Structure 1
Amino acid sequence: MSSKTRNMLEGLVKDTSFKWLLGKQSSFDEEIEEMGRSPSAGTNWIPELSPIANVVVRRCSKILGVSANELRDSFKQEAFESLKQPSLFARNFLEYCCFRALSLSVGVTGHLADKKFRRLTFDMMVVWEVPAVASQALLSVEEDATVSLEAFSRIAPAVPIIADVIICENLFKMLTSATGGRLQFSVYDKYLYGLERAIKKMRTQSESSLLSGVRSKREKILEIDGTVTTQPVLEHIGISTWPGRLILTDHSLYFEALKVVSYDTPKRYDLSEDLKQIIKPELTGPWGTRLFDKAVSYKSISLSEPVVMEFPELKGHTRRDYWLTIIQEVLYVHRYINKYKITGLARDEALSKAVLGVIRVQALQELSLTNAMRYENLLPFNLCDQLPGGDLILETLAEMSTSRELHRSNKSKDTGSSPRSRRDTNNLVVGEVVVGDVNPLERAVKESRKNYEKVVLAQETINGVKMEGIDTNIAVMKELMLPIMETGNWILSVLYWDDPMKSSVFCLVSTFIIWRGWLVYVFALASLFSAIFMVLTRCFSREKLMIELKVTAPPPMNTMEQLLAVQNGISELEQNIQDANIVLLKFRALLFSLFPQASQKFALAIVVAATMMAFVPGRYLLSVVFVELFTRYSPPRRASTERLIRRLREWWFSIPAAPVVLQHDKNNKKKKN
Structure 2
Amino acid sequence: MELQHLFDEDLHDDAKPAPFYGRNFIEFCSYKALSLAISQPNYLNDKDFRSLTFDMMLAWEAPELERNLPDSEVASCSNQDVEDGWSLFYSNSTKMAVQVDDKKTVGPEAFARIAPACPVIADTVMVHNLFDVLTSSSDSRLHFLIYDKFLRSLEKVMKSVQNAMGPQLMTSLSLTQNEILIDVDGTIPTQPVLQHIGMSAWPGRLTLTNYALYFESGVGLYDKAVKYDLATDIKQVIKPELTGPLGARLFDKAVMYKSTSTAEPVYLEFPEFKGCSRRDYWLDICLEILRAHKFIRKFNLKGIQKSEALARAVLGIFRYRAVRDAFHISSSNYKTLLCFNLAESLPGGDLILETLSSLLSLISGRVGQDHVRSSPTAKKRHMFPAALLTLSRLGIVHPEKMDMLGEVTYYGGDVCVGESNPLETVVKQLKQDTGRAEAAQATVDQVKVEGIDTNLAVMKELLFPLIEIFNRLSTFGFLGRSLQISDICVILQLFNI
TM-score, with length taken from structure 1: 0.56
Secondary structure of 2:249's aligned partner? coil
Aligned to 1:256: 216
Deviations 1:112-153 (A, max 9, x none): 111111111000000111112488799888842201011111
Distance 2:142 2:196 in 1: 44
Q: 1:206·1:219 contact (CA, 8 Å) conserved in 2?
A: no
Secondary structure of 1:303's aligned partner? coil
Which residue of the other structure, out of 291, 316, 323, is the alignment partner of 1:364? 323
**Deviation of 1:466 (Å):** 8.3
Secondary structure of 1:173's aligned partner? helix
Closer, same or farther: CA 466–352 of 1 in aligned 2, 3 Å: farther
- Whichever residue aligns with residue 251 of structure 1, its letter is Y
In the alignment, structure 1 residue 436 sits paired with structure 2 residue 396:
no
**Deviation of 1:211 (Å):** 4.7
Distance 1:270 1:349 in 2: 20
- Whichever residue aligns with residue 50 of structure 2, its letter is R
Distance 1:275 1:135 in 2: 62
- Whichever residue aligns with residue 433 of structure 1, its letter is V
Matches within 5 A, 1:259-278: 262-278=221-237
- Whichever residue aligns with residue 96 of structure 1, its letter is F
Closer, same or farther: CA 312–413 of 1 in aligned 2, 3 Å: same
Aligned to 1:203: 162
Secondary structure of 1:164's aligned partner? coil
Aligned to 1:451: 433
Secondary structure of 2:213's aligned partner? strand
Deviations 1:387-440 (A, max 9, x none): 12221111111111111327x56x65568x556532738x9x984312112021
Aligned to 2:474: none
**Deviation of 1:262 (Å):** 1.8
- Whichever residue aligns with residue 367 of structure 1, its letter is A
Aligned to 2:282: 323
Q: 2:58·2:100 contact (CA, 8 Å) conserved in 1?
A: no
Aligned to 1:240: 200
Which residue of the other structure, out of 184, 190, 200, is the alignment partner of 1:224? 184
Distance 2:25 2:99 in 1: 24
Q: 2:240·2:254 contact (CA, 8 Å) conserved in 1?
A: yes
**Deviation of 1:285 (Å):** 2.6
**Deviation of 1:188 (Å):** 0.6
Distance 2:31 2:269 in 1: 45
* CA root-mean-square deviation: 3.0
Deviations 1:440-471 (A, max 9, x none): 1112111221122224324544775787xxxx
Q: 2:254·2:279 contact (CA, 8 Å) conserved in 1?
A: yes
In the alignment, structure 1 residue 117 sits paired with structure 2 residue 49:
yes
In the alignment, structure 1 residue 85 sits paired with structure 2 residue 5:
no
Distance 1:456 1:363 in 2: 30
Q: 1:421·1:430 contact (CA, 8 Å) conserved in 2?
A: no
In the alignment, structure 1 residue 379 sits paired with structure 2 residue 284:
no
Aligned to 1:71: 3
Distance 2:323 2:445 in 1: 30
**Deviation of 1:251 (Å):** 1.2
Q: 1:392·1:444 contact (CA, 8 Å) conserved in 2?
A: yes
Distance 2:269 2:448 in 1: 33
- Whichever residue aligns with residue 183 of structure 2, its letter is E
Closer, same or farther: CA 424–162 of 1 in aligned 2, 3 Å: closer
Secondary structure of 1:436's aligned partner? coil
Closer, same or farther: CA 465–267 of 1 in aligned 2, 3 Å: farther
Distance 1:354 1:208 in 2: 24
- Whichever residue aligns with residue 90 of structure 1, its letter is G
Closer, same or farther: CA 144–201 of 1 in aligned 2, 3 Å: same
Deviations 1:505-531 (A, max 9, x none): xxxxxxxxxxxxxxxxxxxxxxxxxxx
In the alignment, structure 1 residue 350 sits paired with structure 2 residue 350:
no
Distance 1:125 1:248 in 2: 35
Closer, same or farther: CA 164–424 of 1 in aligned 2, 3 Å: closer
Deviations 1:618-650 (A, max 9, x none): xxxxxxxxxxxxxxxxxxxxxxxxxxxxxxxxx
**Deviation of 1:290 (Å):** 2.3
Report how many residues are paired: 404
Distance 1:397 1:462 in 2: 34
- Structure 1 unaligned runs (5+)? 1-68, 480-548, 556-673
Deviations 1:556-582 (A, max 9, x none): xxxxxxxxxxxxxxxxxxxxxxxxxxx
- Whichever residue aligns with residue 244 of structure 2, its letter is G
Matches within 5 A, 1:9-408: 69-133=1-65, 143-213=102-172, 214-258=174-218, 262-370=221-329, 373-405=332-364
Secondary structure of 2:285's aligned partner? helix
Q: 2:37·2:43 contact (CA, 8 Å) conserved in 1?
A: yes
**Deviation of 1:376 (Å):** 2.5
Matches within 5 A, 1:600-639: none
**Deviation of 1:159 (Å):** 0.7
Q: 2:241·2:267 contact (CA, 8 Å) conserved in 1?
A: yes
Q: 2:376·2:416 contact (CA, 8 Å) conserved in 1?
A: no
**Deviation of 1:281 (Å):** 0.7
Closer, same or farther: CA 85–98 of 1 in aligned 2, 3 Å: same
Secondary structure of 1:319's aligned partner? helix
Distance 1:414 1:254 in 2: 40
- Whichever residue aligns with residue 126 of structure 1, its letter is L
- Whichever residue aligns with residue 80 of structure 1, its letter is H
Closer, same or farther: CA 143–381 of 1 in aligned 2, 3 Å: same
Distance 2:28 2:101 in 1: 30
Matches within 5 A, 1:502-517: none
Q: 1:130·1:139 contact (CA, 8 Å) conserved in 2?
A: no
Secondary structure of 2:204's aligned partner? strand
Distance 1:257 1:126 in 2: 51
Distance 1:356 1:111 in 2: 16
Report which structure shows greater RCO (CA 8 Å, sep ≥6). Answer: 2
Closer, same or farther: CA 141–554 of 1 in aligned 2, 3 Å: farther
Secondary structure of 1:313's aligned partner? coil
